[in-house]
Structure 1
Amino acid sequence: MFDLHRLRLLRELKHRGTLAAVAAALSYAPSSVSQQLSQLEAEVGVPLLEPAGRRVRLTEQAEILVAHTEAVLERLERAEAEIATSLSDLTGTLRIASFQTAALALIPTALGLLRDLHPQLRVHVTHMEPERALPALLARDFDLVLAEEYPGHPTPRPSGLEQEDLLDDPLRLALPRPAGGPGANGPMAALRSLANHPWVMEPEGTAARHWAMTLCRDAGFEPDVRFETTDLLLHLRLVEQRHAAAFLPDLVWYGHSPTVPLRQLPRGRRARRISTVVRRGRSRHPAVLACRDALLRAVTLHPVHTDRPVLRQEK
């Protein structure tokens, strides 16, 4: 029978890419990881790693082993969930990764609800964008990730993850100047009126940037992106100071009234989907269930308020 600990090291190598990354994540020496994997190769009787430049990659046989290891670990997570369910008190640590606006708008309220209902549960929250958090979830660095999906740009979901929708967060055009002027009466016209204005957007390679660039190009122009950051509060400040136009989600206000003029976007582009994502087999764990319930309650307790400063609703 193969050693489960060594199988987990092989799985870690698949998800983290290098022996050094596996060693750092597990607080091992790289030589120790290499030795353990060599012993696993001896147990299996076939090569599991092959050179790939300065790195190593998994052989076909190693990929087979990792697939079975994933199934074993999923079953063990289900066993852990059943044991936790059988206990009267919810204890242990729940590790959450969340992007900025959800962390600001929803996490504090959810933490308060969890503290009141489950005082023995330790919750650890990390600010991390979904592009990095979802692979880390598969690598078992987190138990739950708050993720976002932009309209028309579905995010690939590995088969080992399960998603549950939390809310649709409206997206709007944030104007760096008062609305009005010729050609600014419809959503596309409002976009085109900012064709020559500087923009702030999230960095290249993010789902938000891809969505925003596509929207501007569909309106007939290439945006002049002068500012790049994942910090949406900085996006807002640049719009407030009239340095840039931006696309802002309603969650950025987290219960406060907007401070800049907002314009509705074209149909089919008006909301991002926010969801909670866990590993398959983890969704019935009582800590995950409690966290998801707390987040849903946070959504209902603190709805976003954008009605007063938003310009008239176009069709």
Structure 2
Amino acid sequence: MLGTHRLRLLVALADTGSIAGAAQATGGSAAAASQQLARLERESRAQLLERSARSVRLTAAGELLVGRARRILADLEAAEQDVAAAGSAGGGRLRVGSFATAAHRFVVPVLGTLRRRHPALRLSFAELEPEDALPAVRAGELDVAVTHRYHPLAAPETGGLRRVSLYTDPMLLAVPAGTADGPADLGGFRGVDWVATYPDRGFQAVTEMTARLAGFEPRIVGRAAGYPVLLDLVAAGLGVGLVPRSAATPRAGITLLEITAPAGLHRVVELATRAADGSPAIAEFRRELRSRVARARR
């Protein structure tokens, strides 16, 4: 039978790219990690690693076992959490990730409610964008993540995760005051400068993908990590930019326009958990979060 510690080492090697990195991630020495990985190869009766004097890489068999190991370890993590919770949201732990806007408006206040209600519940939080939060949930590093995707654009891969929609957020076009008014057909903005958030790993490239739907490639002259700075760039006259309604704080120097084409452009905010995770703490977090969202959006 394959040992879980050795499976964790193999997954850590895949994540860090080296035996030394895997050893550090799992709290051991490089020599011990190398021995354990060699033992894993004997147990699995397959060559899992290609070793050279300067590097190590996974074979096809190693890649296959890493994929299986991630699911096995995530299921074990879920089982441990379920046992720890033992039918009560007040025990065990809850590790939450969220992007900044939802964290500020909803997630952190809910964590405060759970802290007061269940002092023994071990809570932790990380501010993460979806492209980091979703893999963390899948790998068992987070229990729940509040994420977003853009409709009708390409969505992130969420296989093995359960997603619950929390709310939708229409996208607006922010333009320098006095440059445009009325509903916006984005095709009419093909010749202007744009400012945008960073595209990261693809599915958050909302400006690029939306402009392509409208039939042009945007000329992006400014990038921002978040919407407050993006709006500052628009107010400074550097360009126009897309912004969700919930992040579109009114300010001098900006006009916010409804978007008529491409039609139906909006951000979907979701809660993601592992499909097999039935933790009472997650269930209570989900109820509280949905209740707070509903109250805020009446």
The two structures have a TM-score, normalised by structure 2, of 0.83
Q: Does the alignment pair 1:8 with 2:23?
A: no
Q: Measure the CA separation in 1 of the matches of 2:39 and 2:239.
A: 58
Residue 172 of structure 1 and its aligned partner are, at CA, apart by: 0.8
Q: Measure the CA separation in 2 of the matches of 1:244 and 1:36.
A: 56
Q: Does the alignment pair 1:108 with 2:108?
A: yes
Indicate the structure with greater strand content.
2
Cα deviation code 1:238-268 (max 9, x no counterpart): 2233333211112215xxx633422112254
Structure 2: gaps of 5 or more residues: none
Residue 70 of structure 1 and its aligned partner are, at CA, apart by: 4.2
Match for residue 263 of structure 1 among 257, 260, 264: 257
Residue 62 of structure 1 and its aligned partner are, at CA, apart by: 3.2
Aligned partner of residue 288 in structure 1, secondary structure: helix
Q: CA RMSD in A?
A: 3.0
What corresponds to 1:202 in structure 2?
197
What corresponds to 1:234 in structure 2?
229
Q: Measure the CA separation in 2 of the matches of 1:158 and 1:16.
A: 22
Cα deviation code 1:76-104 (max 9, x no counterpart): 34433442443546234322222222222
Cα deviation code 1:150-200 (max 9, x no counterpart): 1132334253332222221221111221364xxx54421xx3554444322
C-alpha change, 1:210 and 1:264, in structure 2 (3 Å) is: same
What corresponds to 1:120 in structure 2?
120
C-alpha change, 1:139 and 1:55, in structure 2 (3 Å) is: farther
Q: How many residues align?
A: 295
The two structures have a TM-score, normalised by structure 1, of 0.80
C-alpha change, 1:49 and 1:169, in structure 2 (3 Å) is: same
Please identify, of 42-51 and 166-175, the stretch whose mean Cα deviation from structure 2 is larger: 42-51
Amino acid at match of 2:195: V
Cα deviation code 1:215-252 (max 9, x no counterpart): 22444544331211222111122223333321111221
What corresponds to 1:309 in structure 2?
none
What corresponds to 1:312 in structure 2?
none
Amino acid at match of 2:291: R
Aligned partner of residue 141 in structure 2, secondary structure: coil
What corresponds to 1:299 in structure 2?
293
Are the equivalent residues in 1 in contact too, given 2:182–2:257 (CA < 8 A)? no
Amino acid at match of 1:212: T
Amino acid at match of 1:303: R
Q: Measure the CA separation in 1 of the matches of 2:275 and 2:15.
A: 16
Structure 1: gaps of 5 or more residues: 305-315
Q: Measure the CA separation in 1 of the matches of 2:82 and 2:93.
A: 16
C-alpha change, 1:208 and 1:79, in structure 2 (3 Å) is: closer
Cα deviation code 1:38-62 (max 9, x no counterpart): 1222333332112489643333433
Amino acid at match of 2:73: L
